[in-house]
Amino acid sequence: MVKINDNFLKLPGNYLFSEIAKKVSVFEKSHKESRLIRLGIGDVTLPIVPAVIEAVHKAADEMGRKEGFHGYAPDLGYEFLRNVIAEKDYKARSCQINADEIFISDGAKSDSGNIQEIFSIENKIAVCDPVYPVYVDTNVMAGRAGIYQKETERWSDVIYLPCREDNHFIPELPKEAPDLIYLCFPNNPTGSAITKNELQIWVNYANKTGAVIIYDAAYEAYITEEDIPHSIYECEGAQTCAIELRSFSKNAGFTGMRLGYTVIPKELVRGGVALHSLWARRHGTKYNGAPYIIQRAGEAVYTEKGEEQIKKQIAYYMRNANVILEGLKNIGFKVSGGVNAPYIWLKTPDQMTSWQFFDFLLEKANVVGTPGSGFGPGGEGYFRLTGFGTYENTVEAIERIKRSF
């Protein structure tokens, strides 16, 4: 008799953003006259920049000619993209990462969920709390998280790293030693950023204990402060303890095109095995590669025109983030983020729960955000807004929120 993977049944409720979509859909059906402003899901709103679109058109034309046609991509991705990533994202920052240590994929979300497959289910994971839910949910699906404890909203076999206002939403080293440590900076959802000295402490800890850091740097393009590292490999010793995940979705607006990459240095060895070889085996077996056209689009991101145009888009979103940050401060909200990330993390008013504030904003201001509790128990009493909307909608959203209080 067929048996299912009953670990999936352990997951409480729906995926966070699916639950939000359901609530919004119900509201819209009963309030057809309302115009909602969505500042919840971190999806971009500006179109793909011209330099990238030109590359897409050129690559599409190539695919229509016999001499320019490309079939399955190489396992690691095309060299033209991996080479420019190695040069621009790493060697330019004095990080000694080579092109053959970079694996091209369809985005950081899938990689952040799949990377756990190369590790034993006996390994114990540590996550920030609050945290991007994919890290925890995929480990639950694999059978690594233990039992869900409804009263605490925690998993029995997960080590939680509290990110609170009093520690500036930067986690402290755990008392119990984990095997896998998920870190995301600039952080989703809190918008906090870690300094190089603070990150070096984690690198030293991982090398000392034998842990592996899975470092999600999807928002590095939004960093504005000098002492904030763009890559964990800026820290000494990171190549022997860290895997880095990157995305084109947020820096170049590829949410609808799907492109990302994972870096696993060949020096990273656990149990006498190079993790690079395990991921290469998994990648080659389960993934046929991002399309040639999309990889050419990724290459165009690093051209002079591409970089210039994308910087303007990032500045646009960060302007929105500043509008939200300063606007909420002026109303009297306790807020953080919005400086090195497009996310603003706010304390809910009047002791409202995260979902109560979601409903309040939806009903009173017709503004959609993301309840902090959806990111873990440490997010209860908080709420996330994003700078990824249009400038006009962002300004109007803040005005609507002001009128609601």
Residue ranges and CATH numbers for the domains of the chain are: 8-47+306-403 (3.90.1150.10), 52-304 (3.40.640.10)
pLDDT digits (tens, 9 = 90+) for 294-305: 999 999 999 999
- The CA distance from 82 to 104, in Å, is 7
Would the pTM of this model clear 0.75, i.e. be above it? yes
Please report, in angstroms and rounded to a whole number, the separation of the first and last CA atoms in the chain: 58
DSSP conformation class of 351: G
Residue 159 makes CB contacts below 8 A (sequence gap 6+) with 124, 125, 126, 127, 174, 176, 178
User: What is the spatial distance between Cα 382 and Cα 165, in angstroms, rounded to a whole number?
Assistant: 11
Question: How many whole angstroms separate alpha carbon 393 and alpha carbon 405?
Answer: 19
Give the position of tokens 């991921």.
279
Compute mean pLDDT per 10 residues along the chain, 405 residues long, and list them: 95 80 84 87 90 97 94 93 98 97 94 96 97 95 95 95 94 96 97 97 98 97 96 98 96 92 98 97 93 97 97 97 97 96 96 94 93 93 96 96 92
- Contact status, residue 99 vs residue 90, Cβ threshold 8 Å: no
- Residues 10-63 have pLDDT tens digits of 998 777 778 888 888 888 888 888 899 999 877 889 999 999 999 999 999 999
- The DSSP call for residue 47 is P
Number of helices and strands (H, E) in the chain?
A: 12, 17
